[in-house]
Amino acid sequence: MTPVFTPEQEGFREKVCALLCEDVVRAEIAQSRRTPYGEESGLLDVHRRLGKLGWLAINWPERYGGSGATIVEKAIVTEEMIRHGIPENVHSLGVDIVGNAINLMGTDEQKERYLPGLARGETTANVLFSEPDVGSDLGSLATRAEPDGDGYRLTGRKIYNMKAQHSDFALCAARTSTGPVNYAGITLFLVPLHTLGTVIEPVWNLSEERFDLITLDGIRIGREDVLGEVDDGWQVLNRVLPFERTGLDHSAKAERTLAALREHAPPGSAERLERLETRVRAARLLAWRCIANLHEGKPDEIHSATAKWYTSETAKEVSVAAVELLGPQALLDARDPDAIADGVFDAAFREAPGLTLAQGSSEIMLYFVATSKLGLPS
């Protein structure tokens, strides 16, 4: 099951690593992890460099800024970016989620308009799904898109999204009709963020990246801003979710924290480390199984749920174990001059709770596997 890479792919990984190991890149990454509280980095020079090489969205067609490569090369880039500590939300939201959705389901006009900027690392996007009363049960969302001439007016409140301050536009889910099945009648829109009628308020949280509360007060959007079909947003989501839920981001994070832990753990931790290491290896295998499925054009929802659950729980376990094994040293923030491993343990600990919530919580993955794989009654 260990992923088998072609010599070209191995060579490509080395090239990516070489770039990410350059002193300037490492300095930029370290700096981005030490931004003053309340500020946070958006796209970095390293994103633009990867973008210029056509690597950032390497699996997109060349005319949209990619290199026409496969999902395997894309996964190699993602895995190495995270292993090297590049803050990844800005990239995963823009390229892996929103850009990927446009690449898969967008019109030619939408692709031309949005993809090249994303692929070059010059623009980014965010995701407006969750609402104050709507989290796991996305089907019950309340944001409305009401017909207005040849377009719509969007009204509602979106929360717990990230990176609005750096994003140029957003993928927003809104209700276009109501019916007996609540997830029918949801439409996805590509909406401008910094426009009259949109109010963005920061919602501070324990991680390095703030949330936002976004109020859409009747902003006007055109028909051409619908992604996929009207009332059929669920189709788009189902198509895109397997790309989001490979678990590769989490397995790479777990690897990164574990590598630092191995370096700093006190004597007597060997047995514990070995067990964690085994879990992390399994996490990576599950993630690459999903990539292989996608590569073969056969996404598997049960594999995705398994990978999402296992990898995120493992990454969380490693972060909590670091506190136990290293003691107070693990708590030092990257901004403390004496922080070990550039503060990776503190950052990982504060990020950990979100891993098992975002992109489908652990409980939702368990529910899916219990009912769909095991056939237990719902």
Partner 1 sequence: MTTTIAEFFEGDLAPLVRRMADRPRGEGGDTDDDRRETRAMVWEGLTGLGALDDDDAVGLAELLGSVLYQGPLLDTLTARELFPDADLGHAPVALAAGSYSGQDETITARCDFVGFADEVEHFAVVGGDRSALVRAGHPSITTRRHEETGRGELYRVDFTDTPVTTWAGPVDWEPARVRQAAYLVGLAQAALDHAVGYAKTRRQFGRAIGANQALSFRLAELSMRVDAARLLVHDRDAAAHAAGTLAEVADLARTVTVQTMQIHGAAGMRSDDDAQLYYRRAAAESVRLPQPRG
Ligand X SMILES: Cc1cc2nc3c(=O)[nH]c(=O)nc-3n(C[C@H](O)[C@H](O)[C@H](O)COP(=O)(O)OP(=O)(O)OC[C@H]3O[C@@H](n4cnc5c(N)ncnc54)[C@H](O)[C@@H]3O)c2cc1C
User: What is the total count of residues that contact ligand X (CB under 6 A)?
Assistant: 18
Question: Is residue 126 near ligand X by the rule CB under 6 A?
Answer: yes
Residue nearest to ligand X (CB): 135
Task: Specify the residue, 58 or 228, whose C-beta has the smaller distance to ligand X.
Answer: 228
10 Å Cβ neighbour count for 117?
Answer: 19
Binding residue for partner 1, selected from 283, 286, 346, 368, defined by CB under 8 A: 346
What residues between 149 and 178 interact with ligand X by CB under 6 A? 160-162
For residue 203, the surrounding DSSP H or E stretch is strand 198-203
Cα–Cα distance measured from residue 354 to residue 165, given in angstroms and rounded to the nearest whole number: 20
Q: Which residues neighbour 57 within 8 Å (Cβ) at sequence distance 6 or greater?
A: 51, 64, 65, 66, 74, 95, 99, 103, 115, 118, 119
47 in Cβ contact with 84 (< 8 Å): no
135 makes contact with ligand X (CB under 6 A): yes
Among 334, 98, 116, residue whose Cα is nearest residue 236: 98
Closer CB to ligand X, residue 59 or residue 130?
A: 130
The reply to whether 357 sits near ligand X by the rule CB under 6 A is yes
DSSP assignment string, 96-158: IIIIHHHHHH--HHHHHHHHHHHHTTS--EEEE--BTTBSS-GGG---EEEEETTEEEEEEEE
Partner that binds at residue 162, options ligand X, partner 1, none, CB closer than 5 to 8 Å by kind: ligand X
**CA gap 296, 299 in Å, rounded:** 8
120's tokens: 């070059």
86 interacts with ligand X by CB under 6 A? no
Binding of residue 364 to ligand X (CB under 6 A): yes
- 176/47 Cα distance (integer angstroms): 36
In the window 313-332, what residues touch partner 1 (CB under 8 A)? 316, 320, 323-324, 327-328, 330-332
Rounded-to-integer distance, Cα 263 and Cα 256, Å: 11
Contacting range for ligand X; rule: CB under 6 A; set: 116-124, 226-234, 314-322, 359-367? 359-367
Q: Is there binding between residue 354 and ligand X (CB under 6 A)?
A: yes
Strand partners, 153: 146, 220
User: Which range of residues in 25-33, 52-60, 276-284, 334-342 is near partner 1 by CB under 8 A?
Assistant: 334-342
222-226 own/partner pairs: CB under 8 Å, 24+ apart: 222/150, 222/151, 222/152, 223/150, 223/151, 223/152, 224/107, 224/109, 224/110, 225/151, 225/189, 225/190, 225/191, 226/187, 226/188, 226/189
Residue carrying structure tokens 């690449």: 103
User: If binding is defined by CB under 6 A, does position 218 make contact with ligand X?
Assistant: no
Q: Residue 176 interacts with partner 1 (CB under 8 A)? A: no
126 interface partner picked from partner 1, ligand X, none, CB below 5 to 8 A per type? ligand X
79 contact choice in ligand X, partner 1, none (CB below 5 to 8 Å, kind-dependent): none
The interface region with partner 1, picked from 51-59, 81-89, 98-106, 136-144 by CB under 8 A, is 136-144
Task: Say how far apart CA 25 and CA 74 lie, in whole Å.
Answer: 20
Closer residue to ligand X in complex, CB, 230/358: 358
Among 32, 78, 130, 304, binds ligand X (CB under 6 A): 130
Residue 136 sits in the site that holds ligand X (CB under 6 A): yes
Binding partner selected for residue 128 from ligand X, partner 1, none, CB under the kind-specific 5 to 8 Å limit? ligand X
CB of 9 to partner 1, least distance (A): 36
Q: Which residues bind partner 1 (CB under 8 A)?
A: 36-39, 130, 133, 135-137, 140, 159-160, 202-207, 211, 316, 320, 323-324, 327-328, 330-333, 335-336, 338-339, 346, 349-350, 352-354, 356-358, 361-363, 366-367
Q: Which residues bind ligand X (CB under 6 A)?
A: 93, 126-130, 135-136, 160-162, 354, 357-358, 361, 363-364, 367
